Amino acid sequence: MKKIFQIFYPDIEKGVRLISLATSIRWFGWGFTEAFLPVFLFSFAHTYAETGLLRSIYSLVFLLSLPIVSWLADNVASKKLLLAALLLYPLISISYFTAGALGVVAFVICARIINGVAYALDSVGRSTYIRNYAKNSTLATSFGYIDSIANFWWLVAVFISVLLVKYIPIHYLFLAIIPTSLVAILFVRKLPNEKNRKNSNENNNLVSEKNVSFSILGSYGSFFKTIISWKKSVRSLAILLFFVGIITTVGEFFIPIYAYTQNEGLWKVMLLTSFATLPSLLSSLLGAVVDKYKRTIFWSSGLTAILLFFLSFMATFPAQLALVFLIGVCLQLLSLAVDREITFQVPRENIGSISGAFQGVLQVSEIAGPVILGIAIDLLSMHLILMALGICALVLAAVYFKNVKNHSELKKNKVLTLF
């Protein structure tokens, strides 16, 4: 019984638990509107192309903000980044509400721009805090716990909004973001003061306590210089995370569309989408698995390949549901394993930069995935694309196995040299 309790309430730091509460409250507010956001944007654009442009504003601003936010994450306490993000979210809420009330698309654009900046501050600040202050033995568990509890409350809000939208216009639902963001601020303010990073010495205090100079060009230069200087293992993890983002696009976006084109009912399409996202609720448990088994990347990549091969020729709907769910579990394991591994691959002073860069990798995969896969599926077929992705997963598993083997041999040779 105690072990079961630890799965859902793991032994993690007070600060990480506070961030999980703040994130859950904020996501609960967003859950009232996010499921309807594509329809809301379409109501202003009226064409798929223009809707895509409105959607892309957020992604573009997010990517442009990352170098600056990453610099701040290396030089300013994560708590301040999180507070700054939460102060911006009410402005997003007001902009969306005003856009819906007045029918002015300029307010939608304003909301998308602020949202890109806010989420860059929020996501980088959160991941930097965890990498700096979570125990090494619970890193993946910490990431997974936040993911699980936040997604759970997001889904609760989605179900409530389905009932409310029958009686309340969509733009009124955006107002739920204001109180939830303000309540989240109360929890973030309780975060312990960030005086020393883990594994630091007396001279390695947070740079926020030093006199640092900031320039926009300097932050971009530092950001890309850090990326160029990545060692092979970090580049491999970035490629793996990009691949995870691509596969996620297949499960959450293209498989449901493909089912619809095969004359499946809308309720089946919704089930496929739900089963693709359900593994996020298991993130806390999966994080504990990643922390315990260090070769999760190898066997998760291999299992993903096998499942993709099966999905490529599976026609029965119940089997498709099971496969989509299992692939989602494997992708969640891979994502958490990458979050854990990169923490040990870079110096402490670059944790903010690496957090921002890997957030950028995920965002690029979300932009490129639908375009690349959409064109590929149109030119070839869903079956061939799934098989091709399965082969890619096998290659990544083999590369990781080779890297781990070489690393083990290198450590063994160093030990023999000592004797």
Domain contains 153:
yes
Same domain, 134 and 239: no
For 242, other C-beta atoms within 10 Å of its C-beta total: 16
83-111 pLDDT, tens digit each: 999 999 999 999 999 999 998 899 999 99
9-36 pLDDT, tens digit each: 566 778 888 999 999 999 999 988 887 7
Here the tokens at position 58 are 């957020």
Same domain, 152 and 274: no
Domain contains 214:
no
Averaged over 176-180, what is the pLDDT? Answer: 95
Going by pLDDT thresholds of 50, 70 and 90, the confidence category of residue 205 is: very low
Domain closes at, from 143, 175, 192: 192
Q: How many domains does the chain have?
A: 2
Same domain, 185 and 270: no
Same domain, 294 and 225: yes
Inform me whether the pLDDT recorded for 180 exceeds 90. yes
Domain contains 204:
no
Domain contains 124:
yes
Domain contains 122:
yes
Domain contains 1:
no
Here the tokens at position 130 are 């965890």
Domain contains 197:
no
Same domain, 160 and 238: no
Rounded Cα–Cα distance for residues 261 and 263 (Å): 5
Going by pLDDT thresholds of 50, 70 and 90, the confidence category of residue 187 is: very high
In terms of Cα–Cα distance, which of 382, 383, 270 is closest to 35? 270
Averaged over 364-368, what is the pLDDT? Answer: 77
129-163 pLDDT, tens digit each: 888 887 777 777 787 888 888 888 888 888 888 78
pLDDT at 418: 38
Same domain, 81 and 145: yes
161 and 35 Cβ atoms separated by less than 8 Å: yes
Inform me whether the pLDDT recorded for 200 exceeds 60. no
287-314 pLDDT, tens digit each: 778 877 777 888 888 898 999 899 888 7
In terms of Cα–Cα distance, which of 140, 152, 193, 136 is closest to 23? 152
Inform me whether the pLDDT recorded for 414 exceeds 60. no
Rounded Cα–Cα distance for residues 409 and 374 (Å): 42
Contacting residues for 351 by C-beta, under 8 A, at least 6 apart: 73, 74, 128, 131, 132, 197, 343
In terms of Cα–Cα distance, which of 323, 280, 278 is closest to 303? 323
User: What CATH number corresponds to the domain at position 155?
Assistant: 1.20.1250.20
Sign of CA dihedral 265, 267, 270, 272: negative
Least confident of 142-146, 164-168, 219-223, 319-323: 219-223
Same domain, 388 and 302: yes
Burial 366-391 (b: 16+ CB within 10 A, else e): bbebbeebeebbeeeebeebbbebbe
Same domain, 265 and 118: no
Here the tokens at position 5 are 């309790």
Same domain, 351 and 404: yes
Q: What is the domain range of residue 395?
A: 219-414
Same domain, 174 and 230: no
Same domain, 253 and 171: no
How buried is 318 (Cβ within 10 angstroms: 0-12 exposed, 13-18 middle, 19+ buried)? exposed
Most confident option among 66-80, 98-112, 237-251, 258-272: 98-112
Same domain, 326 and 268: yes
pLDDT at 5: 44
pLDDT at 226: 67
**Ordered DSSP codes for 190-203:** TSPP--B-TT--TT
328-362 pLDDT, tens digit each: 889 888 888 887 887 777 666 666 677 777 777 77
Domain contains 201:
no
